[in-house]
Structure 1
Amino acid sequence: MAVTLAFDVYGTLIDTQGLVAMLRAIVGDRAPDFSRAWRERQLEYTFRRALMQNYVPFAVCTAQALDHTCDRFKAPLTAEQRAAVLEAYRTLPAFDDAADGLARLRAAGFRLYAFSNGTAEAVRTLLDAAGIAELFLGIVSTDDLRSYKPNPAVYSHFLRAAGAAGAETWLVSSNPFDIIGALSSGWRAAWVRRSPDAPFDPWGIQPTVTVPGLRDLAAAIAG
């Protein structure tokens, strides 16, 4: 069986910091810090909701995290600004290496799937806007289980949906929590360390391979 690669979307293929320029017009020089805080709160909300079994779609977590970040930064948005920011989040830009890296992997014979906390519709919108949707065999969303990564059930759900075996499946993610979740479920995992300063969680569980970007992935997995 060909090796299956399950690609995290937000932060791995798609740049969650891609709205900094838009946010700068609203919150000024605090835009990079605002954007990072928004992303951190978004993920925290998914963790909390998964643990509480109190599910709402990822877009709701994103919107509520934006509201919290505005309160934290004392930066209220008008209704029009809020709507515009959330609409722009639906078409965040892809990283520069996404299209080329994915095309190389597809040509090398890997089975490529998008595997995301986002709903299938939201992920399809992102991938279409980035021009990379056709490189994937399909999209698997944690929304199907009304839960979020790193719940072990969502990794099992992916294997069923993709017709894959854990021993022949790799998660590809820039998010350490996701890497650890997949490894704990019996997968292999490639950590895309997009910043040389990015730390990995000190849990005694290490990625199978670490790469700086998607263009390096095929050689790392083969090696």
Structure 2
Amino acid sequence: MKNIKAIIFDAYGTLFDVNSAAEKSKEKIGDKWEGFANYWRTTQLEYTWLRSLMKRHKDFWQVTEDSLDKSMQTYKIDLSMRNELLDLYKILSPFSEVPEVLKSLKEKKYKLAILSNGTPTLLNQLVKSNNLENIFDDIFSIEQVGIYKPDTKVYDMPINKYQIKKNEIAFLSANTWDVSGGGNYGYNSIWVNRNNNIFDNLDYQPKLEIKNLKDLLPNIKSN
């Protein structure tokens, strides 16, 4: 990919490990922690899509709480762990290569940003807790437009801010529906396929499929 002016990252599942909250509590949860973590994440995403379709918006933190409550009930997790899990979700761990790669891209003078379903408060806390606050030029939250990905209003935000063309943006996500959303919008969408998953059939194939962010570096060029 050439003539890239901005590199935009999804946050949850792409930069930050959404399962790390449950993993840090796995001794209390037991062997079912991973199934529980995946169910929590799936329910959380389903709630964002359903609320967008119903036009019944709640912010991402409220959705995270609602989906946790259902997941704890489904997996019979002791309710006394609720606050612990929510607190851990606020400080999710980044994937191991993320800090190094982001710093390398920053040195190459790319404009870097996050484009996420998360609230501004949540995203800023995540960035700060992982010592990444000097990396990003912007943190775009869907709260600015009041609807969740993959609505086009979300993908409009970096275009409107930077006044650049859609194909001058490289957009990275680990979520296939988000890759398709950004790609159908006009971004150069890159799939961060950490778990050897199968891509969804949503009228888009990623410009690039990578195992982790390190694979991005040799495949992207500015002017």
Q: What residue identity is the alignment partner of 1:201?
A: D
Q: Which amino acid in structure 2 is aligned with residue 200 of structure 1?
A: F
> What is the match of residue 194 of structure 1?
194
Identity of aligned residues (%): 29
CA contact (8 A) 2:189 2:208 kept: yes
Partner residue, 2:85: 85
Structure with the bigger RCO (C-alpha within 8 Å, sep 6+) is: 2
Name stretches of at least 5 consecutive residues in structure 1 with no aligned partner.
none
Give the counterpart of 1:19 among 18, 21, 34: 21
Retained in 1: the 8 A contact 2:4–2:221? Answer: no
Q: Counterpart in 1 of 2:165?
A: 165
Tell me which of 68, 74, 77 is aligned to 2:76: 74
> 1:22 & 1:210 partners in 2: Cα distance?
29
Seen in structure 2, the aligned counterparts of structure 1 residues 119 and 110 have a Cα distance that, compared at 3 Å, is: same
Task: Summarize deviations over 1:193-216 as a string: whole Å, max 9, x none.
Answer: 1112x1210234110111111112
**Stretches of 4+ moved more than 4 A in 1?**
none
Q: CA RMSD in A?
A: 1.6
Aligned to 1:222: 221
> Match of 1:112, SS?
strand
Q: Is the 8 A contact 1:179 1:191 kept in 2?
A: yes
Does the alignment pair 1:121 with 2:105?
no
1:179-201 deviation line (CA, Å, top 9, x unaligned): 100111111111111112x1210
Aligned to 1:171, the other structure's residue is in SS state strand
Contact 1:3 1:110 in 2 (8 A): yes
Query: Within 2, Cα distance between the matches of 1:156 and 1:39?
Result: 25
Structure 1 partner of 2:109: 109
CA contact (8 A) 2:60 2:119 kept: yes
Structure 2 vs 1, CA of residues 22 and 77 (structure 1 numbering), >3 Å: closer, same or farther?
farther
Deviation by residue 1:148-171 (Cα, 9 ceiling, x = unmatched):
100111111231134432120121
1:65 corresponds to: 67
Aligned counterparts of 1:119 and 1:48: Cα–Cα separation in 2: 18
Q: Secondary structure of 2:191's partner?
A: strand
Alpha carbons of 1:203 and 1:21: their partners in 2 closer, same or farther (altered >3 Å)?
closer
CA shift, 1:42, in A, is 0.5
Q: Which residue identity is paired with 1:87?
A: D
Find out whether 1:35 has 2:34 as its counterpart: no
Q: TM-score, normalised by structure 2?
A: 0.93
Cα displacement (A) at 1:73 = 1.3
Structure 2 stretches of 5 or more lacking a match?
none
Which residue number corresponds to residue 145 of structure 1?
145
- Aligned mates of 2:149, 2:93 — CA distance in 1: 22
How far, CA to CA, are the matches of 1:204 and 1:152 in structure 2?
A: 15
| Amino acid in structure 2 at the alignment position of 1:178 | D
Would you tell me which structure has more helix in proportion to its own residues?
A: 1
From 17, 28, 48, the equivalent of 2:50 is: 48
